[in-house]
Amino acid sequence: MNSTNETSVRQVLNERSGFQVWWRLLRPHTLTASFVPVFVGTMLALIDEGIHIFLFLAMLLASMLIQSATNMFNEYYDYVRGLDNEESVGIGGTIVRDGISPKTVLNLALTFFGISILLGAYICMESSWWIAAVGLACMLFGYLYTGGPIPIAYTPLGELFSGFLMGTVIIGISYFIQTMTITSSVIWISVPVAIFIGGIMMANNIRDLDGDKENGRKTLAILLGRKNAIRFLAIMFVLAYGLTAGFIIAGMLPVLSILTFLSVVKAIEVIRKFQGKTQPIEMLPAMIATGKTNTIYGFLLGISLLISNFI
């Protein structure tokens, strides 16, 4: 790619040098997928039994580190497989545009995993060593998501795995380490969060559909086609909000959780910004809006649980 095009991509993405290079590598707009489940799971525990603040902070940091490491593995393996180039949208761009050594990115990801293991050891000592098995499984899937012979992200199962592991499992762990138990209500309440997290992956795959298809990926978006994939994303949103309404009516969530419906405006914006778009850079605003939908929904859900504990 010539330097003029690269400059154009940098300008559109507002990429800067210095600290911004390393910040982009973390893909901060995706980190809500790790923050929200820990926050929601902990607030559910607060209502039932109270919380241990240091366990919450350790779980939050470990979850965000694993998410960041997963993003780095994605950056590394997509580069190694020749899937990323200077024009690629939705990546940190630290390797293909900033010239950071691929080995440096891989080593940093492994370092984040190492710190997560230390935090996990603390969490296990304060709760149960069964958490170690679940945590290691999550880390393994984080690696296999883009690493290994058949990366999960290249298959139609990417949304399912990301939603289940980052949504249901993380909420379950966050609740369990505080209460030493798990309930069916917690699992059910985790489902809308899991759907929104899976929606982030679906939005990502809609944006990258053409490039992924050329490179032999078989994502759900490719199998459905762009128009049907956008419709499917809309159905995911409707299902998540429908379940939330049902949980409020059934008394599984407090009435105050109706606040989560303020995020509907952002969800509608996602679908509108995807419609009629075919170029990845045109669909970037829709991708960002998807992450914000998850953030707003999850934050308001957690806040509604927190406030309900005191009224």
> Do the domain assignments include residue 203?
yes
Percentage of residues of the chain with pLDDT beyond 70: 90
Q: What is the pLDDT of residue 242?
A: 98
Q: With respect to residue 301, please indicate whether it lies within any of the assigned structural domains.
A: yes
Count CB-CB contacts under 10 A for residue 136. Answer: 13
Residue 15 located in a structural domain: no
Question: Which of 193, 177, 208 has its CA nearest to residue 287?
Answer: 208
Q: Give the tens place of pLDDT for each residue, 45-67.
A: 999 888 999 999 999 999 999 88
Give the structural domain span for 274.
Answer: 30-308
pLDDT of residue 5: 46
What domain count does the chain have? Answer: 1
pLDDT digits (tens, 9 = 90+) for 190-225: 999 999 999 999 999 999 898 888 888 899 999 999
**The predicted structure's pLDDT at residue 2:** 43
Does residue 74 surpass a pLDDT of 80?
yes
Give the pLDDT confidence score for residue 6 in this predicted structure: 45
More confident residue, 274 or 138: 274
Q: What mean pLDDT is predicted for residues 26-48?
A: 89
- Residue 4: what pLDDT? 40
More confident residue, 25 or 157: 157
Whether residue 227 lies inside any domain: the answer is yes
Helices 170-179 and 32-48 pack at an angle, to 10 degrees, of: 30
Residue 3: pLDDT band (50, 70, 90) is: very low
Task: Please state, rounded to an integer, the average pLDDT across all residues of the chain.
Answer: 88
Report if residue 12 sits inside a domain: no
Q: Note whether residue 254 is domain-resident.
A: yes
Q: Of the candidates 33, 69, 263, which has an alpha carbon nearest to the alpha carbon of residue 162?
A: 33
pLDDT tens figures, 92-146: 567 877 778 889 989 999 999 999 999 999 999 999 999 999 888 888 887 888 7
Residue 169, domain member (yes or no): yes
pLDDT in tens, 289-301: 999 999 999 999 9
Model pLDDT, residue 19? 66
Separation between Cα atoms, residue 225 and residue 223, nearest integer Å: 6
Q: How far is CA 279 from the centre of its chain?
A: 23
On whether residue 290 sits in a domain, the answer given is: yes
Distance CA 47, CA 252 (A): 12
pLDDT for position 260? 98
Distance CA 240, CA 219 (A): 21
What pLDDT does residue 308 have?
Answer: 92
Write the DSSP string, 73-89: HHHHHHHHTT---TT-S
